[in-house]
Structure formats: structure tokens, C-alpha cells
Structure 1
Amino acid sequence: MKVIVVGCTHAGTSAVKNILKEAPEAQVTIYERNDNVSFLSCGIALYVGGVVKDSASLFYSNPEELTNLGANVNMEHDVLDIDVTTKTVTVRNLVTGEELTDTYDKLVMTTGSWPLTPPIPGIDQENILLCKNFNQAKEIIAQADSAKKITVVGAGYIGIELVEAFAMKGKEVTLIDGLDRILNKYLDKEFTDVIEAQLETEGITLALNQQVSSFLGADGKVTGVETAAAVYEADLVILCIGFRPMTDLLAGKVDRIDSGAIIVDEYMRTSNPDIFAAGDSAVVHYNPTGDYSYIPLATNAVRQGMLVGKNIIEPKLAYRGTQGTSGLHLFGLNIGSTGLTEASAKHLGMNVGATYFEDNYRPEFMPTTENVQMKLVYDADTHRILGGQLMSQYDITQSANTLSLAIQNKMTIEDLAITDFFFQPHFDRPWNYLNLLAQQAMEDASN
């Protein structure tokens, strides 16, 4: 069996390793347009901020490892066309300019995603940078060294983490976002109000509910970012607006959703049974809604990549879906979230209940304790848990994983209210704070 893997992202790397494990007789060929594989883009802010000293540690794999496992690795090779009828791919060697044609029995599409770049006047200036791959990370670090006023456009996780990294480096930082709250996809207002106040305390200028209308500049370099409300001086701009799947090679050849993400079944097969897709190229099954969604996270990528390998010969292991669980450490705050927020659920027209609750994570008789802010989102009719959010100075982020499991297994607030968690005063109360949150939700739901 001959397998071609297009793009060696996290999903591609995971797919290759598992294909070679499950089908050691398979001939696996990788075509990757970059000169590196499997770069952990969510570690860029840690690298920029100096927390991670060795950039090599941000790669999950390398071409040598995959070659040693038995893959035929072709770096700096760009796939130009995929013919699904003849099962051939046309590839250009980006170093020599040579073109070649290769054939496959199974094709794996793991080309990943690319940052959104809206057609804003002035966006092409040389000190307006994207934040996705290793080369971009190096360029951000190189330019940030001499920059004094840095503007980050986009208040999602990557944007927020860069803001913290730049502020810790003593830069004057402005954060611009078109929505009226930061981290809008992950957290409700009770949490974002606290984080926004912390950002302002750290000297960061928040320009929320403002769309960038143009980038001002001189001599090919940006000098300011203009919105309808103001002009913000900047000698470096980082765009973190979002991502789009890079799947144009299969446009009209497999089923996709409007964003371009490829629709896959529970075995990672596309509408063409000889083509698999995973990671940022593909949809996920979003358990809180029971529908397709596009959630480009490394966690989703490595799981889906593994499933490609498990199912490349025949269906063996089905996808369990995702809750979009994530965590964030920001200026001493530990934040975890999973599933739907109250705002996103209502935007979807769902009939939900929501409970906000605070408590200390362990007894007050201990030498220290910390307050935990929590929220549970649930179906108002069935009481099935649909989402959860937690934030504290204490590291409670693993509890987001507990709530993720509750959503995946369709647990109700009643189930969580009396779930068995251990008690030891060093760690928690006789009733764990998740028990207490769910018990409060039961009270709220009965009123």
C-alpha cells in the first residue's frame, strides 16, 4: 500500500508515525513545503517571552526521526495538484524547481491552516507579521527586540499570550479586537472582565470593539494602526485574527464546510474513501452541539492524526469527538475552559442554563487557600452539561479536563453534583469545588 501524506503538521506527523506502526509494510511518502515539521505554534509566545530558551524543543518531531521510522521524507516540496481520478499528485521541488508526479493508494491531507489576512490597506508593510510557523516566530523575535510600541490585532489565545510576553519585555503594548471582549470564544463576561482589568493594570492598552480600517506607514514600514475610534502608534504589528484551513487542493473533490475545512467521518475518511484528512485541514465533531465545527487546536490534530494511522487499512478506532478544551496561564491567572460558553450557546439559539459560583479550593483552616471562579453551562431541559470555565491564582486547569470528560460522556449536573472525588485538606474540601458548582447549578435549575 502506497500512502502519500500532504503536509507534515502535528496531524501529519502523528498520522505518519501511526501508519508506520499499524501498517509497517506501507510505503509512506511525505511532501512538506517547509524546511521543518510539526512546529508547536502555541509555544511561540513562550519563545518570544524567553520562557522557552531552546526553539528546538518546540518541534514534536524532525525529518530525521520520520526517515528513521521508514518514511520517505521530501522537505521543501510543494504539492501543486491532486488528481483523485488517477490518484496522482503533482509536486514541485522548491529548491530545484523540478516537477514530478507521484501515485498513491491512500492520501492523507494534513496541510494545516494559515493566518487570516483581511484586505486592509497597508497590510503588506514589512513590520506587520503573522504568527503561525517557526520562521515567523524567529522574525517576530528579531523585530520585537528593537520595537518599542507593539500592537497585537486579535484577542484570542495566541494574541493574548503575545501581549503578555511583550509586556513582560517592557514593551508598550496595544491589543485591538473587533469584538467587545477578549477571549470571546472561550470565556464569558464574568471571567473576561477580570482578565481585562489585569491587562490594564499591567499597562496594556485595550482597544476592543474596534475594527482596523488601515495600517499607516512610511518607507514600507508601519507607523500606526487606524480604527474608527483612534490611531495607535506602532513600530511592530502582529496579526492574530484567526486561521483558515489550507484545503484548496481538494476543492470540489471532497466535501467541505463553508470555511473550507474537510468533512471527515469518525474514522477520518473524507467523502472519497481513499482520502483521509486530519488536524487544521479537517472539521471536528463537536460534542456539545453534536455537529461539525472547525477548532484548530494541536490537541485535536494529534488525536485525529493517530486515528488516521489506526484506520488507514480498515476502520478500527472511532473518533470520540472534542469539546475544544483549552488552558491559559496569564499574569498569574490559571484559566481553563471546555465546551460552550453561555454566550455562544445562546448565539446558537440553544435553551441553556448557566451557573456562576465561587469558592476556595481547599479549607480555610489550611495556611493558605485561593478563590476559584467557576461557571457551568447546561441544557435547561435535560440538565446535560455543555460547557465549563474555571479561573484562579491556584492551578485548577486540570479540572477543565474533568468537565471535558463530563461533556463527552453526556453527564448531567446531577451526575457531577455527587461524583466521587477524594478529600484531603492539602488539595480540596469534603465536597470538591466541582461538586459544589454542580450542586449550585441544581438549585438554580430548580428555581
Structure 2
Amino acid sequence: MKVVVVGCTHAGTAAVKTILTEHPEAEVFVFERNDNVSFLSCGIALYVGGVVKDPAGLFYSNPEELASMGATVKMEHNVQSIDTEKKSVLVEDIQNGGTFSVDYDKLVMTTGSWPIIPPIEGIKNKNILLCKNYNQANEIIKQAETAEKIVIVGGGYIGIELVEAFAESGKKVTLIDGLDRILNKYLDKEFTDVLEQDLQERGVTLALNQAVEAFIPDETGTVKSVKTPKGEYEADLVILCVGFKPNTELLSGKVEMLPNGAIVVDEYMRTSDPAIFAAGDSCAVHYNPTGGSAYIPLATNAVRMGSLVGKNIAGEKVKYRGTQSTSGLYLFGFNIGSTGVNVGSAQHFGLDVRSVVVEDNYRPEFMPTTEKVTMKLVYEVGTNRIVGGQIMSKYDVTQSANTLSLCIQNKMTTEDLAYVDFFFQPHFDRPWNYLNILAQAALEQERKLAEK
């Protein structure tokens, strides 16, 4: 079996390792256009902020390891085209020039995603950077050394983490986002209001509900300010974090895709072409809260999907369980976890939901210390099926987001969670665990609604 793997970050690395572990006789060719593999881009803010001192720790594999397992690894090689009829790829050697063809029995598309670059006036000015790969992280660190006024465009996880890193290092930081709240995809207003107030108290300028109109350069072509309908914000450095798009042009028109270009795969990671598998940020995921497809680029999805490619490359063995888009964030002392839909996103996915918010201490008041936990449960109207949850505290309760994730994956109801068996020990929680209490609040809400 001859396998060609295109792209080798999270999904590609996982696929190669699993293929060669389970099928050591396989002939595996890896083509990666960068000079490294397996970079954890979710660690960029920690690297930029100096928490991670040695960037080598942000790589969990390397070309040598993959080669030692039996792969033929070609770094700085770009696949230019794919002939799905002849089952071959045309590859460019970026360093030395020239092209060559390689045929395949199975093709694995793990080409990932790339930052969205909006068509804004002045976007090509100097000192406007992207934040995705290792080389970009190094460039951000280099330019941030002399920059005092830093503008982050985009209030998702990467943008917010960079805001924290630069604010902690004493920079004057402005966050611009076209939406009216930060972290809009992950958290509802009860949580983002608290976080936004905290950011402002720390000196961060929030320019929310403002779309960037132009990047204004100085006489050297270097950005000096960012213009929005509500004002102009000075900048020595601008970092764009406005989202990602799948890198799937090579298969455009050749396999089934979502409108945004994300490749649709079945439960065994096969595309609509049975010889082609796909995984990671280039793909749509099976989104369990809705039962449909969605584009949710996360490293956790990529690693799992890549591993499943390896499991199923020679036949159906392990089904994809789907995802809840579970994620965690540490921001200025707040520990935050979320999973599934929130009230804002539920409407986009066509879900009719209700929700409850509960604030309680994570453990009994008779203990020497405790901390408030703010929780929200989102459930489907009519079925009471749990479809989302959010949790935040100065105490680390983020693993509870994983518990809620499992509830969604297993289609549990609010009643299931209200009475599920959790341990009690005063060091850790209350006689009723705080997730029990949250679900019981949902049941009480439904009881009162039924009486009306």
C-alpha cells in the first residue's frame, strides 16, 4: 500500500504515525512545504509572552522521527496539483527547483488551514503580521521587542491570548473586533462581560463592534494606525487573528466540500473519493450538538481525526465519534471552559434552546477557602438534551467542561446530569457536585414553565 500524505502538522503527524504503527509494510510519502512538522500553534501566545522559554517544546515530533518509523519525508516540498483519475500528485521541490510526480494507492489530505486575510485598504503595509506557524511566531516576537503600541484584530482565543501576553509585558494593547463581544463563538454575555471589564481595568483598549476600514501607513509604508468607523488607533505592530479557512484548493471540484471549502468526510475519514482520506483543519467535523457538519478548526479535532485516518486507511476499523468543540482558556487568573453551542450560536445551527446560569462555590463554605464558580447549561427545548455548557472560576474547574462534553456526545439530558453519581469530598466539591446543581436548576426551570 502506497500512501501519500500532503501536509504534516497535527493531523498529518498523527496519521503518519498511526499508519506506520499499524501497517509497517506501508510505503508512506510525506510532503510538507514548511521546514518543520507538528508545531503547536495554540502555544504561540505562551511563547510570545515568555512562559515557554524553549520553543522546541512546542514541537512533539520531527522529520527524523517520522523517517525512523519508515516514512519518506520531503520537507519544503509543495504539492502543486492532484490527478484523482491517475492517482498521482505533482510535487515542487521549493529549495532546489523542479517538479516530479508520485502515484498513490491512498491519498491523505492534511493540508490544514490558513489565516483569513481580509481585503482591507493598507493590508500589505509593513508590520502587519499573521499568527499561525512557527516562523510567524518568531517574527511577532522580533517585532514586539521594539513595538510599544500593539493592535490585535480579532477577539477569538488566539487574539485574546496575545492580548494577555502583550499586556503582561507592559505594552499598550488595543483589541479590535467587528462583533460586539469577545470570544463570541465560545461564551455568552454573562461570561464575556466579566472578562471585558477585567481587560479594561488592566489598561487594554477594547474597540468592539468596529470593523477595520483601513490600515494607515507612515511615509515608509509601515502601519502607524488602524482606522474603524468609530476612530483611529495608533499602532507600531498589528496582528491579524480574524479566523481561518481550509487549505483545500488542490481538491476543489474533486471531492464533496462545504461552501467554505472544508472537505466532507464520512465516519471513517474517507472523502467522497474512496481513495482519498482527509483530516484536521482542512475538513468539516461531525458536530454532535446538531448532528450535522461544521467547520471547527481545533488541534484536538486534528489529532483525533489524523489517528483515525491511520486506523481506517486499509479498511473500516474505528468510527469517528464527532466533536463538541470543547476548549479551555486561562486569562488573567480566570479558568474558562466551554463545549457545544452557546445561546448565541445555537440559533445559527438551527437549535431551539433554553439555558440556566448558576453561581455557586465549588466546595463548602466551612472550608478555609473556596471560590465562586459561574456555570451555564444550554439544552434543547422539548427533549432537554444537553447541547452546550460554559464554566468559569478563579479555581481550576476546566475539567468540568470535559464532563459536559461527554454529556453532549452521549446525548444525555438535564435529568441525567442532575442525578448522575459524582463523588463528594469537602476538599474538592459539595455533597451535590456543582454540575449536579446546575442541571437541577435546569429541571426546576422546566418545572416552573410547565406550571404556567
State the TM-score bracket (shorter-chain normalisation). over 0.9
Q: CA deviation at 1:348?
A: 3.4
Q: Secondary structure at the match of 2:213?
A: strand
Residue of structure 1 in register with 2:349 after alignment: 348
Contact residue 290 and residue 351 of structure 2 kept, 8 A: no
Q: CA deviation at 1:38?
A: 1.1
> One-letter code of the match for 1:88?
S
Residue of structure 2 in register with 1:172 after alignment: 172
Residue of structure 2 in register with 1:81 after alignment: 81
Structure 2: distance between partners of 1:258 and 1:131: 24
Task: Say if 2:152 is the partner of 1:155.
Answer: no
Task: Say if 2:108 is the partner of 1:98.
Answer: no
Residue of structure 1 in register with 2:290 after alignment: 289
Q: CA deviation at 1:346?
A: 2.7
Q: CA deviation at 1:446?
A: 1.8
Structure 2: distance between partners of 1:338 and 1:225: 33
Structure 1: distance between partners of 2:262 and 2:215: 30
Contact residue 353 and residue 445 of structure 1 kept, 8 A: no
Task: Say if 2:327 is the partner of 1:318.
Answer: no
Structure 1: distance between partners of 2:354 and 2:122: 45
Structure 2: distance between partners of 1:79 and 1:125: 29
Contact residue 10 and residue 60 of structure 1 kept, 8 A: no
- Structure 1: 5+ residue runs without aligned partners? none
Number of aligned residues: 447
Residue of structure 2 in register with 1:47 after alignment: 47
> One-letter code of the match for 2:122?
G
Structure 2: distance between partners of 1:347 and 1:24: 45
Structure 2: distance between partners of 1:91 and 1:205: 46
Sequence identity (%): 69
Task: Say if 2:427 is the partner of 1:426.
Answer: yes
Structure 2: distance between partners of 1:444 and 1:97: 66
Correspondence list, 1:11-26, <5 A? 11-26=11-26
Q: CA deviation at 1:353?
A: 1.1
Q: CA deviation at 1:19?
A: 0.4
Structure 2: distance between partners of 1:405 and 1:129: 37
> One-letter code of the match for 1:139?
E
Residue of structure 2 in register with 1:10 after alignment: 10
- Structure 2: 5+ residue runs without aligned partners? none
Residue of structure 2 in register with 1:260 after alignment: 261
Structure 2: distance between partners of 1:344 and 1:33: 35
Q: CA deviation at 1:445?
A: 1.5
Structure 2: distance between partners of 1:154 and 1:351: 28
Structure 1: distance between partners of 2:33 and 2:350: 42
Deviation string, structure 1 residues 336-393 (Cα, Å, up to 9, x no partner): 0000001111333422110000100000000000000000000110000000000000
Structure 1: distance between partners of 2:439 and 2:100: 59
Residue of structure 2 in register with 1:437 after alignment: 438
Residue of structure 1 in register with 2:70 after alignment: 70
Deviation string, structure 1 residues 96-144 (Cα, Å, up to 9, x no partner): 1111111000000000000000110111112000000000000000000
Q: CA deviation at 1:282?
A: 0.6
Structure 1: distance between partners of 2:275 and 2:347: 39
Deviation string, structure 1 residues 135-160 (Cα, Å, up to 9, x no partner): 00000000001000000000000000
Structure 2: distance between partners of 1:268 and 1:6: 15
Structure 2: distance between partners of 1:348 and 1:298: 22
Alpha-carbon RMSD: 0.6
Q: Secondary structure at the match of 1:56?
A: helix
Deviation string, structure 1 residues 306-358 (Cα, Å, up to 9, x no partner): 00000000010000000000000000000000000011113334221100001
Structure 1: distance between partners of 2:225 and 2:344: 33
Residue of structure 1 in register with 2:380 after alignment: 379
> One-letter code of the match for 2:206?
L
Residue of structure 2 in register with 1:308 after alignment: 309
Task: Say if 2:219 is the partner of 1:216.
Answer: no
Structure 2: distance between partners of 1:67 and 1:201: 51
Query: TM-score scaled to structure 2, two decimals?
Result: 0.98
Deviation string, structure 1 residues 234-259 (Cα, Å, up to 9, x no partner): 00000000000000000011010011
Correspondence list, 1:323-342, <5 A? 323-342=324-343
Structure 1: distance between partners of 2:328 and 2:387: 17
Q: Secondary structure at the match of 1:212?
A: coil
Q: Secondary structure at the match of 1:301?
A: helix
Task: Say if 2:402 is the partner of 1:401.
Answer: yes
Structure 2: distance between partners of 1:350 and 1:335: 24
Query: TM-score scaled to structure 1, two decimals?
Result: 0.99
